Amino acid sequence: MILNTPYYLIDEKKLLKNLRVIQHIREVSGAKFVLALKCFAAWSVFGLMRRYMDGTTSSSVYEARLGHEKFGKEVHAYCVAFSDDDVKEVSGFADKVIFNSFTQLERLGRLAHPDTNTMRNGAQGCRIGVRVNPGTSFSRFDLADPARKYSRLGVTDRQALKKALPRLSGVMFHYNCENDDVEHFARHLDRIGRVYGDVLKRLEWVSIGGGFYFTKKGYPVGKFCEKLKAFGRTFGIQVYLEPGEAAITQAAQLVTRVLDVVRNKIDIAIVDASTEAHMLDLLIYRQNARLRQELPGRFPYMVAGRSCLAGDIFGTYRLDRRLKVGSEIRFLDAAGYTMVKKNWFNGLQMPSIVVKRLNGSTDVVRRFGYRDYVASLS
Lowest average pLDDT, out of 101-105, 136-140, 317-321, goes to 136-140
Cα–Cα distance between 29 and 192 in angstroms, integer?
A: 18
Cα–Cα distance between 237 and 207 in angstroms, integer?
A: 10
Cα–Cα distance between 374 and 378 in angstroms, integer?
A: 7
Q: Nearest CA to 179 among 207, 222, 151, 210?
A: 210
Hey, how many other C-beta atoms are within 10 angstroms of the C-beta on 138? 19
pLDDT tens string 117-153: 333 433 356 899 999 999 888 877 888 788 889 999 9
Q: Could you tell me if 271 and 238 are in contact, meaning their C-beta atoms sit under 8 angstroms apart? A: no
12-248: CATH architecture? Alpha-Beta Barrel (3.20)
Helix (H) or strand (E) holding 164: helix 158-164
**pTM (whole model) above 0.85:** yes
> Domain limits of the chain?
12-248, 252-334+342-375
Q: Could you tell me if 245 and 213 are in contact, meaning their C-beta atoms sit under 8 angstroms apart? A: yes
Distances (CA, A) of 82 to 35, 167, 210, 229: 20, 18, 21, 33
Q: Nearest CA to 232 among 22, 19, 34, 25?
A: 25
Q: What pLDDT, on a 0 to 100 scale, did the predictor assign at position 99?
A: 98
* Residue range 339-362: mean pLDDT, rounded: 97
Q: Could you tell me if 204 and 166 are in contact, meaning their C-beta atoms sit under 8 angstroms apart? A: no
* Residue range 310-318: mean pLDDT, rounded: 96
Above 50 in pLDDT, residue 15? yes
Q: What pLDDT, on a 0 to 100 scale, did the predictor assign at position 125?
A: 64
Exposed e or buried b per residue across 7-28, where buried means at least 16 C-beta atoms within 10 angstroms of its C-beta: bbbbbbebbbebbebbeebbee
Q: Could you tell me if 37 and 77 are in contact, meaning their C-beta atoms sit under 8 angstroms apart? A: no
Q: What pLDDT, on a 0 to 100 scale, did the predictor assign at position 118?
A: 39
Helix (H) or strand (E) holding 66: helix 61-66
Q: Where are the beta strands (DSSP E) in 185-323?
A: 205-207, 238-241, 252-263, 267-271, 299-304, 313-319
Q: What pLDDT, on a 0 to 100 scale, did the predictor assign at position 140?
A: 78
Q: What pLDDT, on a 0 to 100 scale, did the predictor assign at position 273?
A: 98
N-terminal to C-terminal alpha carbon distance within the chain: 36
Q: What pLDDT, on a 0 to 100 scale, did the predictor assign at position 176?
A: 85
What average pLDDT does the structure give for the chain?
94
- What sections of 165-279 are H helices per DSSP? 182-200, 221-235, 245-248, 275-278
Q: Could you tell me if 79 and 59 are in contact, meaning their C-beta atoms sit under 8 angstroms apart? A: yes
Give ∠ CA 12-70-54 in degrees, rounded to 5: 75
Reduce the DSSP state of residue 165 to 3 states and report it.
Answer: helix
Reduce the DSSP state of residue 48 to 3 states and report it.
Answer: helix
Helix (H) or strand (E) holding 282: helix 280-284
Q: Please give the CATH topology (third level) of the domain spanning 252-334+342-375.
A: Lyase, Ornithine Decarboxylase; Chain A, domain 1 (2.40.37)
Q: Could you tell me if 208 and 173 are in contact, meaning their C-beta atoms sit under 8 angstroms apart? A: yes
Q: What pLDDT, on a 0 to 100 scale, did the predictor assign at position 143?
A: 80
pLDDT tens string 144-203: 788 889 999 999 999 999 999 999 999 999 988 878 899 999 999 999 999 999 999 999
Q: What pLDDT, on a 0 to 100 scale, did the predictor assign at position 124?
A: 53
Chain centre distance of CA 75: 15
Cα–Cα distance between 175 and 266 in angstroms, integer?
A: 41
Q: What pLDDT, on a 0 to 100 scale, did the predictor assign at position 113?
A: 64
Distances (CA, A) of 303 to 23, 152, 243, 308: 38, 38, 31, 14
Q: In terms of DSSP bridges, do strands 313-319 and 7-11 run parallel, antiparallel, or are they unpaired? A: unpaired
Helix (H) or strand (E) holding 138: none
Q: What pLDDT, on a 0 to 100 scale, did the predictor assign at position 1?
A: 72
* Residue range 249-256: mean pLDDT, rounded: 97
pLDDT tens string 35-91: 999 999 999 999 999 999 999 999 999 999 999 999 999 999 999 999 999 999 999
Q: Could you tell me if 58 and 43 are in contact, meaning their C-beta atoms sit under 8 angstroms apart? A: no
